[in-house]
Amino acid sequence: MRGYAGTLTLVFLVLFAVLYLVPLVRSAAYLFSLTLAGVVVSHYTALWALSFLTYNVVTPKGKIVVITRCDSGYGNRLALELFHRGFTVVAGCASEESEGARLLKDLGSPRVHVFHTDVTEMESLLEFQSRVRDLCSGEGHLWAVIINLSVVSLGELEWYDDDDMRWTYEVNVLCVSRVARVFLPMLRASPYDGRRFVIVNSVWGRIAVPGTGPYCMTKYAVRCFTEVLRRELIKFGIYVVGVEPNLYRLPHAEPGSLLKSYKYMWDKLPDSVKDAYSRSYGEEMEANIRNMIANEPDPIVLDMAKKMMDSVQTEHPRKLYQPDLLSRKLLYAGFRLLPDDITDFWFTEISGLMKA
């Protein structure tokens, strides 16, 4: 707490000097604060009004949407919804025999195309791109590329070796970048105004959650990638939209998958490391995260499903879609604005995560 106290003391002294020792600066600071507050309020009010006044849904006919990882979860759900809205869907699946792939194939529609795609292999991804290009020459033009890729693992940073780190980074960061780079020329050549990338990330790219270190690290990286790509593609008139759901009850975040991940990480640890932790530590940690997922309010899940649809079908999408529930907004804002001592205390003493 020593560093925290020193920071508070410094802040107090600065405020004292500004507010009491320099009256002119005090007046200028007061006016500047009012002006800044007015600009911020006006900006967000204008955005709020604009979202209602300019909310137009595009005509889906002839618009091709590419989605990665449609075997299950949000990718599969979004593919089905976009098909029912009238878009032509090209679904990349890790296996054409997966339940999600079969569900899409069973639609029996010429507007749904399911292809095997291994995004970790450039050759497979280029073949997928070639098939999309063939479709664009006959069925329409590319409208959106939805990059939906993620693996999550459970365990402390000490438990990971280089291979574990490399695999998480490979899928969550390099594959996202790879898909964007492969499809960028096609999207740039599309004649549609409003064509876009939609990159599915996670709010855990804004919160450093203990026990999911590599996952959070990669999500921070994807958030940076999304923002840089958005600014670089403005000159081409291409939207880059970020979607940041929470860790929902999806296959990569199912309690069973997390438990399997934990056991894999724990079982390969040497006894010298295991002895530093209590034997019940991992079970308690997994149970806490299982409860976090199981208790995710359904309104948030439904709200984010709608937002993902909006990111594709809205004429002028937002730059970022996050859960709108007030409790979640306050939580995310708190992690960004509160001192580290408070957030550290919350994670270690209140949340119950990561107690040895």
pLDDT in tens, the chain (356 residues): 444 455 555 555 565 555 555 555 556 555 665 665 566 556 556 555 555 556 799 999 999 999 999 988 788 989 999 999 999 999 999 998 899 999 999 999 999 999 999 999 999 999 999 999 999 988 789 999 999 998 888 888 999 999 999 999 999 999 999 999 999 999 999 999 999 999 999 988 988 888 889 999 999 999 999 999 999 999 999 999 999 987 554 445 555 667 777 778 888 888 888 888 876 776 677 676 666 666 655 555 667 778 889 999 999 999 999 877 666 677 777 777 888 888 888 887 776 555 55
CB 77 within 8 A of CB 305: yes
Query: What's the pTM?
Result: 0.80
CA–CA gap between residue 191 and residue 64 (Å, rounded): 12
CB 266 within 8 A of CB 274: yes
CA–CA gap between residue 170 and residue 153 (Å, rounded): 13
Q: Identify residue 237 by its one-letter amino acid code.
A: G
Residues serving a catalytic function are 215
Where along the chain do its domains lie? 1-26, 54-247+297-347
Which overall architecture, per CATH, does domain 54-247+297-347 show? 3-Layer(aba) Sandwich (3.40)
Distances (CA, A) of 119 to 29, 52, 353: 52, 37, 33
For tokens 């929902």, the residue is 248
End-to-end CA distance of the chain: 21
